[in-house]
Amino acid sequence: MEAIIETAENLGEGEIVNTSSGEKVFRLSDYIGNPVILPEEIGLTWEEDGEEKPGAVFNGGAELINGKVVILSRCQKNYGRESYFNIKSGTKRYRLSNYVSEVWPLISEDGISFKRYKNGAIKGDGGDHGDFLYCIEDIRCVKIDGRYILTGCGKLKPPYDGSNADRIAIYST
């Protein structure tokens, strides 16, 4: 817990700034060591055509548990990258495709250096959790009366298949 407190003391406080339109907004302080979690550092890679490829890790909900920081990160590998035209912005954009996400519990003593916890994963397996057969994404975690409540986006069908198959899902430990 002391390492977490020391890390917090070294972070910035943020500040209120005026935008060019005169609107006041709160600007967060950036941590100089961002990104904190890199796919290669937690073993999130795969081989393709004799080359090691980095996976994608999305920092999800965090909670303090027994004096340690636990992050439930959405992790994926073996994905494709495809372009599409964004009608709203009028620009060509890119997105990850053909993937199945897993949520990996990552643990840290100081809130900066994370390791995968016991190779654990929350994933859609086609079993009891039919509301996320393909992925569960953007997990958030909160402790209520001694239980952890997890909310996230469950995918019933593959990402970007055009079927609007995303659902809000809630779980408990």
Burial of residue 151 (CB within 10 Å: 0-12, 13-18, 19+) is: middle
Per-residue pLDDT at 54: 93
Amino acid identity at 5: I
Could you tell me the residue ranges of all domains in the chain?
2-172
Burial of residue 148 (CB within 10 Å: 0-12, 13-18, 19+) is: middle
Give yes or no for residue 102 having a pLDDT over 80: yes
In this predicted model, what pLDDT tens digit does every residue of 36-62 receive, in sequence order?
899 999 999 999 999 999 999 987 889
Per-residue pLDDT at 128: 63
Mean pLDDT of all residues in 89-107: 87
- Name which residue leads in pLDDT, 18 or 124: 18
